[in-house]
Structure formats: structure tokens, C-alpha cells
Homo-oligomer: A and B are copies of this chain.
Amino acid sequence: MFSYSDFNNKLSKGSGIGELMLDLGNGLEQAHRQKIEISMLGGGNPAHIPSMEEIFKAKWNELGNDPILLARMLGDYSAPQGLKEFREILAIYLSKQLNAKLTPDHIAITQGSQSAFFMLLNSFSGELESNKTFQKILFPIVPEYIGYLDQSIKRNSFTSIIPIVEKTAKHRFVYKINFDLVKDRISKRDIGAICLSRPTNPSGNIVPSSDMVELYNIAYSSKIPLIVDNAYGYPFPNIAFVSAQLEWKPGMIQVFSLSKLGLPGLRTGIIVADPEVASRIGEMSSILNLAPGNVGSFFVENWLNNGQISQFSNEIIQPFYKEKSNFALSLLDECLNEKVEYQIHESHGALFLWLHFPNHKLNSRQIYNKLKSQGVFVVAGENFFPGLEVDFSHKNECIRLTYSRSPEEVNRGIKILASVLAS
């Protein structure tokens, strides 16, 4: 009805993440209307962990008993870069965890990590009038998070590298970074930043520390930042079944989130970067959002101070998901073995399993649609390859399956998946 700008058309037309969020929001409702049972194995909503919910409830009520704090939290804008006192506490906690000397100036709070990545990915890709070039973000390993796919305001802002596929057991594999291809791509000198999630969403891969060091060295010597998305990782919520520890060093941009602790409704993201980068993010935040919300910061402040956030992560959240992962893996092996050709990426962490069905007559989009028609929501694999410029069989042969839901839902979903694949 109106003339929309390229900006609007680029960002509002049928994105993968939009479809996923619609499935998540509308899937349940639609299923209720049609009175069919559903298995919501699509979205990335964290699980409702009863003991964490008790902790959240107690914290909510504690905040409610302090009228002065409450008045500030609800009634005052924070600085665009986030509350100074909260960034001071974060700096102390994260200095220890990341073996770095961080100050509040290294930190910027955002309206969730999705918002952080919108700012970051567009800050290091696109046009540079000053030297008439066009930079791209390099994803050194794909599949990679669906939420990045459509975040660039300019087309062709992303490029990515096919991984080495390494077999680890009869039905298991792991993706490895192909450093020869990464170095080759970097040498073209149009890369503005290297970016990866760890654990990787969707594969659950935790890129080994030695590879992180190598990536860092490549980025540092190319004078571009290494951006690491720790939304599921170290030090919180630490949904990692192998070590995900990581240091911060100058030139790195690490991003953290409260969502996978179980607080996605509070939209709180945290950027740790060189002060110049953090300050630019603060400036951008003032223009895009005025300021981040306060509730997330007040919620976790004491847990950072006394280290409980690590304790919750390691003693409650991580074991909870580890058990869920094991359950889903056993069930998949039980239901698929001898019936279907399948491979599952090693489950190092995050909430997902990444399933590969080589040479199946159905591609990932067809599997997605058949499952959806029976009330089972997964995410088709093709959405996880931002900037891929070459063919890779996995792109159309994989699905992402969330294992964080109830055993009943997971059980039902996997049984229907097996029947769809075997029929």
C-alpha cells in the first residue's frame, strides 16, 4: 500500500527467523484450534526448569520488597551503554571468568543478543564510503545461527566456509573448521569480521580452544574483530557438555545473553569488547533504543557478585540439558537405526540436535512440511547457511531438533519423524 524503502523490504520479507518465531508463536495456537497434539521441537525457547523458576520467583519478590530499587529499575532510563554499576559488577565477574582485565568501558548492555548482533554485523559489513570498499562478515564454519541470516541491511554482506565433516562413530560426526579455506578467503581482504557461535546453534558443536586461538590469530593479524556468540555457552548458562572456556583478548568481541538462563522475556544481551567498540555500541543503542531495559540487570546483579550465576549454570542448568540431550539421542538411535540412513552431530552443548539424512528422497524442506502437518515442528536445515556461496549437500539434508521440551513431546516428535522418514 505504501512505498517501502529497501531497508524495509530487506528486513521484512519472509526471513527464516521470522518463520521460526511464527511457528513458535502460532504453531501452538493453531494446533489447539485444530485439536491436534503438537511437538514444538522448532524454536529456541529455553526449558522451564522448576528449580530455576523457584529461584526467579524468589528474586522477583526480593526486588519487589525494595521500593527504592524498584523505583529506579522501573522508572529511570539507564545510560545507553547500560547501568554503570551493573557494568562494574560484570567487569569484575567476567575478568575472572575470561582471564582478562576488563573495565566497565569494555562492556555494553543491549536489548538481547539478537539486537547486539544486528548492530555488530552491520557495523563490520557493508559499504565503507571512506575507501570505496564493501566488507563482508566471514562465518568460518557453517551451519550457523538462523538469526544471523537476514540481519544485514545490505545484500551479499555475508560469506561462509564449508566445514570438514569428521566421522566420530557409526551415526555421529563433528564439523571442523577448514582453516586452509578460511585463510584463503581472508586473503581477499574484503572481510570486516569473523563470527561464530559457541556452542554452535544449530549443530551443538563446541569449536575446540586451539581452533579459537587460531581464529583469533588470523583475525588479529588481519586487524578485524573475532566475534563470538556465547548465548548458550561459557560462563553462563554454560550449556556445554565439553569445556567451553574461553579467554577475552583485545580485538575480540564476545556476546553473552540472559535468555538461556531461562530469562528470554527480559531481553538482556551483554557485549564485551575493546572500549572503542563498546562505546560505539552505546552510541548506536541511544539512537536505536535510547537505553536497554533495566530488569535483566537488576535480576542478575547479585548472582554475578556472589558467583551464584556460575553455580546455577553448572549445577542446575547444564545437567538438566545434558540429560535431555542423552534422552533424545538414545531415542533417535532406537527409532532410526536399521531403518534410515542418518548421522547426528556430536552434542557438545546448546538445546539442539542437528540431524543429517544423506541421500534421503525427502529434502529438509519436505521433511519440515510433512512433520508440521502432523503437529511436529522442527527447523529446516537450509536456513542455517548464511552467505554460503558453494554447494554443500548438508544444506538440504539436515534438520534442527530442539530437545528442551518435555519427554512426552520429544518422544512423540521423534517417533513421527522416524515414521515420516521410513515411509
Q: Which residues of A contact B (CB under 8 A)?
A: 1-9, 11-15, 17-18, 21-22, 24-26, 29, 43, 45-46, 48, 53, 56-57, 60-61, 63-64, 67, 70-80, 84, 111-112, 114-115, 118-119, 122-131, 135, 147, 150-151, 153, 192-193, 223-225, 262-267, 274, 276-277, 279-284, 286-295
How far, in angstroms, from A298 to B131 measured CA to CA in the complex? Answer: 49
CB distance from A18 to the nearest CB of B (A): 4
How far, in angstroms, from A291 to B123 measured CA to CA in the complex? Answer: 22
CB distance from A160 to the nearest CB of B (A): 18
Query: Could you show 11 A-B contacts with beta carbons less than 8 Å apart?
Result: A3-B124, A3-B223, A5-B127, A6-B126, A8-B284, A21-B286, A60-B60, A74-B266, A75-B265, A111-B293, A114-B288
User: Which B residues are in CB contact (< 8 Å) with A80?
Assistant: 18, 21-22, 25
Given contacts A5-B123, A151-B288, 4 further A-B contacts (CB under 8 A): A2-B277, A5-B126, A12-B284, A114-B288
User: Which B residues are in CB contact (< 8 Å) with A262?
Assistant: 74-75
User: Which B residues are in CB contact (< 8 Å) with A72?
Assistant: 265
Is the Cβ of B77 less than 8 Å from the Cβ of A26?
A: no
CB distance from A221 to the nearest CB of B (A): 13
User: Which B residues are in CB contact (< 8 Å) with A26?
Assistant: 79
- Given A1-B274, A25-B79, A290-B17, A11:B284 Cβ within 8 A: yes
Is the Cβ of B5 less than 8 Å from the Cβ of A135?
A: yes
Is the Cβ of A150 less than 8 Å from the Cβ of B70?
A: no
- Given A6-B128, A84-B29, A280:B53 Cβ within 8 A: no
How far, in angstroms, from A61 to B74 measured CA to CA in the complex? Answer: 13
Is the Cβ of B15 less than 8 Å from the Cβ of A286?
A: yes
Nearest chain B residue, comparing its CB with the CB of A17: B286
CB distance from A50 to the nearest CB of B (A): 9
How far, in angstroms, from A57 to B71 measured CA to CA in the complex? Answer: 8
User: Which B residues are in CB contact (< 8 Å) with A48?
Assistant: 71, 75
Is the Cβ of B67 less than 8 Å from the Cβ of A21?
A: no
User: Which B residues are in CB contact (< 8 Å) with A290?
Assistant: 17, 21, 112, 114, 147, 264, 267
User: Which B residues are in CB contact (< 8 Å) with A150?
Assistant: 287
Which of B8, B67, B292, B294 is close to A123, meaning CB atoms less than 8 Å apart? B8
Is the Cβ of A124 less than 8 Å from the Cβ of B2?
A: yes
Which of B21, B25, B56 is close to A70, meaning CB atoms less than 8 Å apart? B56
User: Which B residues are in CB contact (< 8 Å) with A75?
Assistant: 45-46, 48, 53, 56, 262-265
- Given A2-B277, A18-B283, A283-B13, A45:B111 Cβ within 8 A: no
User: Which B residues are in CB contact (< 8 Å) with A21?
Assistant: 77, 79-80, 286, 290-291
How far, in angstroms, from A18 to B287 measured CA to CA in the complex? Answer: 7
How far, in angstroms, from A265 to B109 measured CA to CA in the complex? Answer: 13
Is the Cβ of B25 less than 8 Å from the Cβ of A124?
A: no
How far, in angstroms, from A64 to B126 measured CA to CA in the complex? Answer: 45
How far, in angstroms, from A43 to B78 measured CA to CA in the complex? Answer: 12
Nearest chain B residue, comparing its CB with the CB of A225: B2
User: Which B residues are in CB contact (< 8 Å) with A293?
Assistant: 111, 265-267, 293, 295
Which 5 pairs show the lowest CB-CB distances between chains A and B?
Answer: A25-B79, A8-B123, A265-B294, A12-B280, A12-B283
Which of B128, B277, B283, B295 is close to A11, meaning CB atoms less than 8 Å apart? B283
- Given A64-B61, A115-B288, A280-B12, A124:B5 Cβ within 8 A: yes
Which of B70, B193, B225 is close to A60, meaning CB atoms less than 8 Å apart? B70
